Amino acid sequence: MPLTQMQTIQSLGEAMSWLERELAWGVPVAELRHLNGRIGELYAALMSGGQMATNVNQQGYDVVAGTGERISVKTTTMMPGSGHISFNPNTLDLVDRVIVLRLNIDEMQIETLFDDTVGCAIDLMAPVNSAGKRNISLSKFLSSPRVRADIQTVSSVQFEGSTVTALENGSILVYTDGEPVTPAKPVLRKLAAKLGIDTLNTNGNPHNTRQLGSLVISAIEILENA
């Protein structure tokens, strides 16, 4: 039975929490490929208003969007500019859309590197290699990532010239004087200090961007409603 939208959101949150625990236990991210892939597919299903592919090991695509598009989802933890994403050229005819995501494990954020038609993805691919694959170098996503989908805003607050926004997938965006700030954590730390928020968790470790952003938003909302 397909997951509901709420179940998809809950599953994504649980998967991200499990990833955090595994990393805290010292498990190398390279050994968590299945979990990383699952997070990417759940995220893509959420951002496209769709569902996970119903067949196990579905050839070609991983998610069916709310519009009916068949989406191939690729998830990496590598920095743009290093490494590549591989595709099976024999199943590209089964795909309508390609989404390439990066799991930023330092900030526990999901970044969209590419979201466009399979034709646009093919234009970026190198010829078939000796392993029978077609690759896209991550360096092609450095200058101007192609992103077409938006994630719904859950909450957004303003405080001393900065806007902090939480998206439905848990990501935190920060804007200062209307301009996006990347990375967001330095601004969040400054806001946390002004709001009297501890930047360390109960274990004495720094909050990641998602956690700190949520605390900052909650504190500002309390001030606004006081």
Note whether 87 and 136 are within 8 A (CB).
yes
- Looking at the structure of the chain, the number of domains it has is 2
The domain in which residue 132 lies consists of 5-141
Whether residue 177 is found in the same domain as residue 100:
no
What's the one-letter identity of residue 157?
V
Report yes or no on whether pTM surpasses 0.85. no
- Of 69, 76, 113, the closest CA to residue 95 belongs to 69
Whether residue 129 is found in the same domain as residue 19:
yes
What pLDDT tens digit does each residue of the chain (226 aa) get? Answer: 667 778 888 888 889 889 888 988 889 888 999 999 999 999 999 888 888 887 766 778 999 998 999 999 999 998 766 789 999 999 999 999 999 999 988 777 888 889 899 999 999 999 999 999 999 998 888 654 454 445 678 889 999 899 999 887 677 888 888 888 877 888 999 999 999 999 887 777 788 888 888 999 999 999 888 7
Which tens digits make up the pLDDT trace of 44-56?
998 888 888 877 6
Residue 147 lies in a domain: no
Note whether 114 and 139 are within 8 A (CB).
no
Whether residue 90 is found in the same domain as residue 170:
no
Neighbours of 34 (CB within 10 A): 8
Cα–Cα distance, 96 to 118 (Å, whole number): 5
Cα–Cα distance, 15 to 42 (Å, whole number): 9
